[in-house]
Amino acid sequence: MTEAFDVQKTLHDTFETVFGNAADVRYYFAPGRVNLIGEHTDYNGGHVFPCALTVGTYGAARLREDKQIRLYSVNRAMNGISFSSVEDLRPLTGEQSWTNYIRGVVWSMQNRNYEFDTGFEMVIYGDIPAGAGLSSSASLEVLTGYALTDLYHFPTSGPELAIIGQDAENNFCGLSCGIMDQFASAMGEEDHALFLDTATLQYESVPLNLKGAKILITNTNVKHSLVDSEYNERRRQCAQALADLQTVTDIRSLGELTCDRFDKLKALIPDETNRRRAKHAVYENARATEAVRALKEGDLAAFGKLMNASHVSLRDDFETSCREADILAEAAWEIPGVYGSRITGGGFGGCTVSIVRDEATEEFRTKLSERYQKETGKTCDFYEVRAGMGPHVLDGPA
């Protein structure tokens, strides 16, 4: 993890080199996220319980006098400067496609009647490991919305930053994600996780009182292909199951069903696969709500068991886990001092998230590394994380 001071200096110096000088530049940060429980519930009107991280995307930006948008990424220096204009926003392909997350936010803001009389220039740098499923794209969208709000003095609220980010991702970048990632990034609070009802966008910040335990993220370092098409297929399957149930009930989403009600109605879903997908969505929503209750009562053991049940359901019913994540989660479950462990995020690779007692973290790292190496021939990485704050302005370099 990179020290903020170094990042600002890098951004400043890069800005100077790329754009001639760094006068009037402002510095920003927006976090990535890890989801503790409530997976694949956000497009089913259910609950999620993510927290923002202290890693994310940094930006240095200022307004221009003309209508151009000039973008540069320290992580993609080989791609050079991207040139476009606030008057002509279209998704790009190839080398410049990373800028879609930024320009998509401008596009979405314009659709909401935010006026861009001039353009802007921005240098960004991200310290989220690539492909880990820790929402680097959501953090870039939220960073952009937040920076533009500050530079142009727009009245955008935090939840609106999340909605704009999701709109950019869905309708400009063409990825049909739910609201969780952008919301977690936009509304994160230090040492708190966010209990969000995705049907109403009502949320509660819940203190992460882990009493002698830590959140450990383990990166499988794999990202299986077809992630986007599999994700979209899960969405379609859940939507079909809902449509089947709507022939006899007037529910608007799977998130409105209790487990009991679902069990009574499930025979109405003729397709066995779709039935399992819907079961996951309904039961996972119940688990998320129960887990938050357990955490508030200080019952980490109960919280952890729900995390494990979430993994089993993602593995068997929703089928978004993968062998690598199963190996890591199952190895973690055997270690005393591990409350719970599960695959986190969209799935098909990425990371597991575990709650581990302080004294068990060494054993956790050793055993998981050995087992992972032995069974996959690959290396996994560990990140000890804290819940960080949402987007904010940073001081310039000292």
- Binding residues for ligand GLA, per CB under 6 A? 35, 39-40, 42-43, 177-178, 180-181, 345-346
Q: How far is the CB of 210 from ligand GLA (least distance, A)?
A: 22
Residue 33 or 357: the one with the smaller Cβ distance to ligand GLA is: 33
Quote the least distance from Cβ 224 to ligand GLA, whole Å: 14
Choosing from 42, 167, 181, 326, the catalytic residue is 181
For ligand GLA, the closer of residues 15 and 43 by Cβ is 43
Q: Report, in Å, the least distance between residue 351 CB and ligand GLA.
A: 11
Give yes or no: 181 in active site: yes
- Taking the complex as a whole, the smallest distance from the CB of residue 347 to ligand GLA amounts, in Å, to 7
- In the complex, the smallest distance separating the C-beta of residue 42 from ligand GLA, rounded to whole angstroms, is 5
Nearer residue to ligand GLA within complex by CB, 120 or 195: 195
Minimum distance between the CB of residue 235 and ligand GLA, rounded to whole angstroms? Answer: 8
**What SS3 string covers the chain?**
CCCHHHHHHHHHHHHHHHHCCCCCCEEEEEEEEEEEECCCCCCCCCEEEEEEEEEEEEEEEEECCCCEEEEEEHHHHHHCCEEEECCECCCCCHHHHHHHHHHHHHHHHHHCCCCCCCCEEEEEEECCCCCCCCCHHHHHHHHHHHHHHHHHCCCCCHHHHHHHHHHHHHHCCCCCCCCHHHHHHHHCCCCEEEEEECCCCEEEEEECCCCCEEEEEEEEEEECCCHHHHHHHHHHHHHHHHHHHCCCCCCCCHHHCCHHHHHHHHHHCCCHHHHHHHHHHHHHHHHHHHHHHHHHCCCHHHHHHHHHHHHHHHHHCCCCCCHHHHHHHHHHHCCCCEEEEEEECCCCEEEEEEEEEHHHHHHHHHHHHHHHHHHHCCCCEEEEECCCCCCEEECCCC
Instruction: Using alpha carbons only, give the angle 290, 292, 298 rounded to the nearest 5 degrees.
Output: 105
Instruction: Tell me whether residue 14 or residue 219 sits nearer to ligand GLA (CB atom).
Output: 219
Cα distances (Å, whole numbers) of residue 297 to 49, 210, 285, 352:
16, 11, 19, 24
Q: Which residues are catalytic?
A: 181
